[in-house]
């Protein structure tokens, strides 16, 4: 009887281990609509949430989403708090030294926004922007590629870091900063809500072709060395790009296609 109990206990442990292998904890920063946000019922919603749920479905994983401030996502991944991070994370060389990325599933453009009357509003090229905002106070979300771009290419600027995008917009309107940089899709609802008479786009759309720190598109971040998991997620993302699933999800949230070409 004792031997049977031991065998049954061992079998249960093995089953639990097998099940946990298919359980993924997904870290995200749900403060960046339409990529991800929290709805009135307290649920995480948005483009990344739908993309992540579809990936989980295709790799037959049970996924639990965890909301975390953006600048804590990749450190949390590295110490094992999450299994993957899906939060519009741009793939660049600096991050790739610390974590692994899936193939890119999106490639979203970025914009600088200023108050009306700021000379940067008339900028025509990416090169015009560092000149127009040379010593300006510029707001960015902490831990993002936007912060990296400002620090690298606007060396005399006063970099102000924020936890949430809406804080950048509100400080810009209040005159506490002179400009803000984030993804165009994140700016759009803020400009619409607060008024185009208060927030003005400056210069052209910006991508990794303009500033290398923006990286090579957005990917799923994973702990280094998880080759099997990376292979499964890569295959799922590639299939979703090929069959148009990501394009469809993008059009639902953005009104246009941000899927990686």
Residue 20 confidence class, pLDDT cut points 50, 70, 90? very low
For residue 129, cis peptide bond before it (omega within 30 degrees of 0): no
- For all residues of the chain together, what is the average pLDDT? 90
pLDDT given for residue 2 in this prediction: 33
pLDDT given for residue 22 in this prediction: 66
pLDDT at 11 over 90: no
Strands 110-114 and 200-206: antiparallel
State the average pLDDT over residues 199-227. 93
pLDDT at 19 over 70: no
Residue 193 confidence class, pLDDT cut points 50, 70, 90? very high
Length of the chain: 261
pLDDT given for residue 156 in this prediction: 96
In the chain, the domains with their CATH numbers are 2-107+217-253 (3.40.190.10), 110-214 (3.40.190.10)
pLDDT at 248 over 80: yes
* Confidence (pTM): 0.73
């Amino acid at each position: 009887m004792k031997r049977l109990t031991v065998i049954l206990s061992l079998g249960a442990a093995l089953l639990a281990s097998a099940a946990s292998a298919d359980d993924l904890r997904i870290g995200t920063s749900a403060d960046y609509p339409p990529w991800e946000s929290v709805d009135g019922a307290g649920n995480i919603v948005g483009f990344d949430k739908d993309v992540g749920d579809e990936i989980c479905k295709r790799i037959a994983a049970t996924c639990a989403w965890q909301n975390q401030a953006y600048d804590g996502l990749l450190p949390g991944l590295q110490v094992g708090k999450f299994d993957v991070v899906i939060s519009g994370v741009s793939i660049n060389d600096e991050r790739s030294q610390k974590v692994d990325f899936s193939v890119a599933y999106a490639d979203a453009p970025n914009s600088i926004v200023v108050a009306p009357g700021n000379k940067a509003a008339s900028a025509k090229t990416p090169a015009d922007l560092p000149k127009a905002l040379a010593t300006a106070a510029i707001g960015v979300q902490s831990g993002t590629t936007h912060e990296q771009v400002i620090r690298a290419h606007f060396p005399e600027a006063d970099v102000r870091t924020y936890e949430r995008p809406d804080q950048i917009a509100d400080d810009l309107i209040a005159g506490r900063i002179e400009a803000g940089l984030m993804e165009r899709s994140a700016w759009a609802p803020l400009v619409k809500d607060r008024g185009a008479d208060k927030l003005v786009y400056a210069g052209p759309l910006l991508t990794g072709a303009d500033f290398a720190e923006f990286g090579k598109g957005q990917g799923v971040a994973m702990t280094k060395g998880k080759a099997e998991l990376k292979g499964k997620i890569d295959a799922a993302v590639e299939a979703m790009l090929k069959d148009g699933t990501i394009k469809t999800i993008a059009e639902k949230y953005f009104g246009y296609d941000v899927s990686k070409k």
